Chain A
């Protein structure tokens, strides 16, 4: 049945996904049909009674026949949908045909790839299958989803697509592209993941709610309050479980194809984000995480879109929880050239700092009435390659936007801000969790930054011309050695001793 089991996915032939795919995807429907029509018989069989109730006088046969027909129809639908789903990789395009009543043909340019994910839900994982998602810059829906392929084939296809997109493999070549070697940069230990969940904002409210309910039950002298809390506890448990399931075994690696992220306990996901596809990055630190010096990193990638949701939240997370060393390593992956001679000092000041250390420009002192806490923290700094926007005294936040990724910008000023001589600068980026905004900067500084930033973005775009990142690099004669990592060698040895890091108070 499987026409391409022994052959790697190469040019021009049309391939089908694995024949088991529709069953893996639609097993719920099958189980529902079987349970609905067969439950009575199962129960009777278990109780050792006769299989068919005489009281129904043969009507049971019709019922069973109906169930069988429905089952057959569902299976036939599955087989047809499998048969008519075909994909092809040729001449710089990936094409997918689907549907037998309403046909759909879709093609996407390989060099427009923004990210490739390989997703394995639990059931698919049991059968050794995986779904491949190909993202282009079209916020939301995946351009191409191939569900399901044998895992090896999915990896091979990913390597081929990335190789073509990177420009190392010619479109005419039929030989499969070997998978790019990768170098694991960091991973999140299980203990830290659990700790991060326990110290999350959510836990704070859980504790608050628990105290409130205990007080309430003591005051009213009734234990019935606990009963009302059961749904809440179940919901919270599910939320914690989801976060745990998604964040488990998080690993980030660097390869010439880009950044590779892997995570998941039952459902696993492997994301590949080619170099330069990250539009904006945000480092945050909830107040409780400061005790242990932990941070979270989220990114905007054009293909992932902005719709909130658990799955998307996981996809846009570049580092679920990590210490300063991991943060520096991740920054080095995203921004190979930090554009400053002393990146460690600059980024440390950006993440934890106050006032104008390392060259940051803060909100002017005269505006401290409208930003009593934040005025020493709100600041910006433009390095040679990116703009850093710092904010949040308690909920610390740093937003980083590479210069060539700036889409458009807007300066805005309300009446109160005008009274204090400050203005906000918003950088527009693709949809995602990161919204870069410089708040309450001095008007003169903001206008100057507005002008300079437009010029910097222009220059940066001129330098970067090709979408084929490896072709560009090989022309320049340098291999994509993680040169950035050199910049973080110093903090790198701190990764194993994150817990002992100086507390950032």
Chain B
């Protein structure tokens, strides 16, 4: 498991399902390929319709650069998914993510106001779900994607039970 300097020592990280890579791939395709296609339209017109304004090099370089960027993002996806981890401790839940921009977050059970489980169409096909924890702070962006549905349900019940046991005010 990927750990780094900003992770507290001695944590046994749980990884999310590797099937989550597929979800990310679909998201990537929808976002990036569409963008590249739209950016390629001027190139098409320059080549076929004889547009004068964008010179050929400009019409070609913009979608090409975007395509390279998209490829770079694509290559990163499996590593990013492997970098997502969570760990249930006695009093709080730790969530980590990121390779270049890393983030490790701690959410105390007693601070949880509610827990969301969301399932998108691709996730449903793969039997995955996304867990989201809410505290009284809008800054708590505790998202745990790519959990197997059973693990998501277990975690939700577990978190709710622990939250109730340790419920504190604000």
Contact = CB atoms under 8 A, between A and B. Distances in A.
A is bound by B: yes
Interface of A: 114, 137, 139, 277, 279, 302, 306, 404-415, 418, 421, 423, 426, 428-431, 435, 443, 446-447, 450-451, 454, 457-458, 461, 464, 467
Given A412-B101, A428-B135, A461-B168, A407 B140 contact: yes
A336 B169 CA distance: 19
B104 to A, nearest CB: 5
A461 B109 CA distance: 12
Interface in B121-135: 135
A412 B141 CA distance: 13
Interface of B: 4-9, 91-92, 98, 100-108, 110-111, 135-140, 142, 168-170
A429 B8 contact: no
Contacts of B138: 139, 306, 430-431
Contacts of B139: 407-408, 426, 428-429, 435
A150 B135 CA distance: 38
Nearest to B105: A410
6 contacts: A407-B111, A408-B142, A428-B135, A428-B140, A430-B137, A447-B6
A120 to B, nearest CB: 28
A348 B107 CA distance: 32
Given A137-B170, A407-B135, A412 B6 contact: yes
Given A407-B139, A414-B100, A461-B110, 18 more contacts: A114-B170, A139-B138, A302-B170, A404-B168, A407-B136, A408-B111, A409-B105, A409-B106, A410-B103, A412-B101, A413-B102, A418-B102, A428-B135, A428-B140, A429-B137, A430-B137, A446-B6, A458-B110
A423 B135 contact: no
A423 B98 CA distance: 14
A461 B6 CA distance: 25
A74 to B, nearest CB: 39
Contacts, number: 103
Shortest Cβ-Cβ A-B pairs, 3 listed: A428-B137, A428-B139, A410-B105
Contact of B105 (A137, A302, A408): A408
B143 to A, nearest CB: 12
A495 to B, nearest CB: 32
A414 B101 contact: yes
A451 B7 CA distance: 10
A61 to B, nearest CB: 58
A415 B110 CA distance: 33
A423 B6 contact: yes
Nearest to B102: A413
Contacts of B103: 410-413
B6 A413 contact: yes
Contacts of A279: 170
A464 B167 CA distance: 12
B5 A447 contact: yes
A439 to B, nearest CB: 14
Given A137-B170, A412-B6, A458 B136 contact: no
B92 A454 contact: yes
A408 B7 contact: no
B106 A454 contact: yes
A451 B94 CA distance: 11
Contacts of A413: 4-6, 101-103
Contacts of B170: 114, 137, 277, 279, 302, 405, 430
B104 A450 contact: yes
Contacts of A114: 170
Contacts of A407: 108, 111, 135-137, 139-140
A382 to B, nearest CB: 16
A408 B106 contact: yes
A467 B169 contact: yes
A451 B106 CA distance: 9
A412 B95 CA distance: 12
A467 B170 CA distance: 9
A408 B135 contact: yes
Contacts of B9: 447
Nearest to B103: A412
Contact of B108 (A277, A431, A454): A454
A335 B142 CA distance: 29
B137 A458 contact: no
A408 B137 contact: yes
Nearest to A415: B100
Contact of B102 (A277, A412, A467): A412
Nearest to B9: A447
A461 B98 CA distance: 31
Nearest to A454: B106
B100 A458 contact: no
- Most chain B C-beta atoms within 10 Å of own C-beta, residue among A408, A426, A461: A408
A413 B7 CA distance: 11
Given A414-B100, A428-B135, A431-B137, A458 B8 contact: no
Given A415-B100, A418-B5, A450 B106 contact: yes
B7 A447 contact: yes
A411 B136 contact: no
A408 B140 contact: yes
Nearest to B96: A411
A431 to B, nearest CB: 5
Nearest to A453: B106
A324 B132 CA distance: 43
- Most chain B C-beta atoms within 10 Å of own C-beta, residue among A139, A306, A461: A461
A306 B136 CA distance: 12
B169 A408 contact: no
A302 B106 contact: no
Contacts of A446: 6
- Most chain A C-beta atoms within 10 Å of own C-beta, residue among B7, B91, B142, B169: B169
Contacts of B98: 412
Contacts of A426: 139
Contact of B104 (A277, A411, A414): A411
A343 to B, nearest CB: 25
Nearest to B135: A407
A20 B38 CA distance: 61
Nearest to B93: A408
